[in-house]
Structure 1
């Protein structure tokens, strides 16, 4: 029979041979913030608008080269160059680059973006009086112009309904949520490091 305060030597040696098991923490799973469906839809629409503007750029460049090279109409070529520059501004506005928004505050508002997109669509669709050999150019002009026109109309109505303000508000909340998730992950990582340190000290 073992004395009080003393255990079986075999049991003690067996306990000493057992490795220390680290405590499991719930931080093994990566914390992820769910994407806002509204912002996902807005980003998809921005991509569609950007693609439409890029298509307008391509069409106007093609038309400008045709006008200058063939000597058809120099004024039409100059007009197309301006259309390319404004369409490029539309693409930059869709990226919501801080410099562009600061340079032109009106592009921060969806109604302003929509009016600019409609203007580019009208410029792209203007002067389509080409000969019968330019059917592909006319077709691309129509596709690019009407697609960007539709995006511009949606932007104008969404701006009137203050959807742009709602988007900016949700973006700010998403940034705050992502920062909170990042801080929480950092705390969980630090807690795991402290737990491992305690386990090492207990084993010494």
Structure 2
């Protein structure tokens, strides 16, 4: 009979354990959510620049007389692709291009791509839809680049990396705690099976 009382006493602390789990799983950091959304907008802007530059390069090569503009557009596509890859913060890329870890450097690269996308626009008016798409893409990426530069100057990137590290540490601690609780329950079941 005392064993059953102990068994019942051991299962009583389970509700506080689940409340500690909910206490550890707090809401996501608002700054990190905003940064993820902004990275998405920047990536979409860079992808739009890639599309515009590809279309402009094809048009330039078809004309035959604008070969230099076509080559320029190909370089713009490559650099804009690099902007998209930089937004993923892929560790391999960040390892070799440390300047992209800093938001001011990343913003300057985006501004450069926006200027390249805007260069050599068609002033004759024969491709109004392409020029409109080009203006939208370059001004969106220019705005993203300016936000990155000013945020970098204000050290927002450093704050974001610090909070991101804390979030990863907290998530790992929650996973470790869940694993320990699961293992403890398994050991309790084995102990109860041995008692019977």
1:70 equivalent in structure 2:
63
Equivalent in the alignment of 1:167: 160
Superposed displacement of residue 99, structure 1: 1.1
- TM-superposed CA distance for 1:69, in Å, is 1.5
Structure 2 distance, partners of 1:168, 1:28, is: 30
**1:34 deviation in Å?**
3.0
Unaligned runs of 5+ in 1: 1-11, 13-19
Instruction: Give SS of 2:183's match.
Output: helix
State the 4+ residue runs in structure 1 displaced beyond 4 angstroms.
Answer: 27-31
Q: How does 1:23-34 map to 2 (within 5 A)?
A: 23=11, 25-26=14-15, 32-34=25-27
Partner residue of 1:133? Answer: 126
Partner residue of 2:145 out of 112, 130, 152: 152
Q: Which runs of 5+ in 2 are unaligned?
A: 2-6
Count of aligned pairs between the two proteins: 185
> What is the distance in 2 between the residues matched to 1:139 and 1:192?
63
Going by fraction, where is helix more abundant, 1 or 2? 2
TM-score by length of 1: 0.84
Please report the TM-score for the alignment, with normalisation by the length of structure 2.
Answer: 0.87
Q: Larger Rg: 1 or 2?
A: 1
Q: Is the 1:33–1:178 contact (alpha carbons within 8 Å) kept by the matching residues of 2?
A: no
**Superposed CA offset, 1:95-116 (max 9, x none):** 0011111111111100001111
CA RMSD, 1 decimal: 2.0
Cα distance in structure 2, aligned partners of 1:132 and 1:53: 24
